[in-house]
Homo-oligomer: A and B are copies of this chain.
Amino acid sequence: MHTMTHESKEPPKPRRHAVTLHDIAKAAGVSVATASFVANGKRDVRLTDETRERVQRVIDELGYRPNAMAKNLVSGGSKFIGLVADAIATTPFAGQIIHGAQDEAWKHGYVLLVANTEGNEPAEREAITMMLEHQVRGILYSTWFHRAADVPEALRETDFVMVNCFSPSLDSRAVVPDEVQGGRTATDMLLAEGHRRVAFINTTAIAPARVGRLEGYQAALAAAGIDFDPALVLDAQPDQEGGFDAVESILRLGVNAVFCHNDRVAMGLYDGLRARGLAIPDDIAIVGFDNQEVISAHLRPPLSTVQLPHYELGAAGVRMLLGIDEAAPDELRRIACPPVARQSTSAPRPVQP
């Protein structure tokens, strides 16, 4: 009889370097493309029998196993998914939509055709036409901030999913951030520190983020048994200047906790509070929104915030397009915005011995 321990009784498996197409190509003296053609049994490529046999021999000898993703990628030929973006590739942090869509597309054997249109309508039409000509499986239509967006006519000639946007008539499948849950999460991070009077610097921009985050803020207060006081909600330009200029109003309210519409507003508020000698979070606790790493992780103190789920929006869009996630033809799916706790809501307290 033997006892189970943390360490396995089995002899350690020899650690094998996974054989790659590159190894095959090198050993057979052919290109990686040729190795790939043979490994994937492509008959429509001109190769001599001698070459095919030599490569196949190396494949058998080295024991090459194409990994699932690679096999999907190379065996399918031109299996494309289109991604039309108004400015994602050129916008800080929204590029994660591309990243998420690409990872999910590859996993299922599709290659992403990305077109960044900068919101230019003719460019958008031509991009969609190009994608239709490449017989894409479907198109993700995405915007760099969450908003209603008219569906271009040409898009209706193929399967499509709206990503980070939705049709005003709500007649199309869409994946968007859950602004209500996000606003509630941000507010909860302040309520959890014992604050009862929490100001909300909302944005002046008319967008789903404005309505949704306010609704979330109200829901969090209601759940905590706190009456909603409209005087605690301000509107400001959604950038550093807006946050800076809101300082007087915030101080006049006499609150010790502020939920900012986004990280940039929080950054401006930091500057304004410091200019008046106030400390974060001891005098005023702050929560942002977006999780723009390059800003929020590097403020003094690092900013607690709520993350826009860009990667997941892209991935979920692909899953919905391919039918992996089932969805009604007019499905509007909301993706959760998780909290990112840093140091702007509570100061680390010294431990008393």
Distance (whole angstroms) from the CB of A292 to the closest CB of chain B: 7
User: In the bound complex, do residue B130 and residue A73 qualify as a contact, i.e. CB atoms below 8 Å apart?
Assistant: yes
In the complex, the count of this chain's copies comes to 2
Give the segment of A84-92, A171-179, A316-324 that binds chain B.
A84-92
Question: Bound complex: CA of A295 vs CA of B274, how far in Å?
Answer: 18
- Asked, given contacts A90-B99, A95-B95, A298-B239, whether A70 binds B126 with beta carbons under 8 Å apart, the answer is yes
Distance from A105 Cβ to chain B, minimum over Cβ atoms (Å): 11
Interface pair A20/B122, CB less than 8 Å apart: yes
Q: Does residue A300 face the partner (Cβ distance < 8 Å to B)?
A: yes
Among A75-98, those with CB < 8 Å from B are 77-78, 88-93, 95-96, 98
Distance of A268 from chain B, by nearest CB (Å): 7
In angstroms, Cα B102 to Cα A115, docked, is: 8
Q: Closest CB of chain B to A16's CB: distance in Å?
A: 14
Q: Is A271 an interface residue (CB 8 A)?
A: yes
Residue among A67, A90, A240 with most chain B CB within 10 A = A90
* CB closest residue in chain B, given A244: B300
CA–CA, A25 and B153, complex, Å: 10
Most chain B C-beta atoms within 10 Å of own C-beta, residue among A77, A130, A241, A299: A130
Is the pair A74, B133 in contact by a Cβ cutoff of 8 Å? yes
- For A271, give its contact among B20, B153, B300 (CB under 8 Å): B300
6 contacts between A and B (CB under 8 A): A22-B154, A31-B154, A32-B125, A37-B133, A78-B78, A98-B114
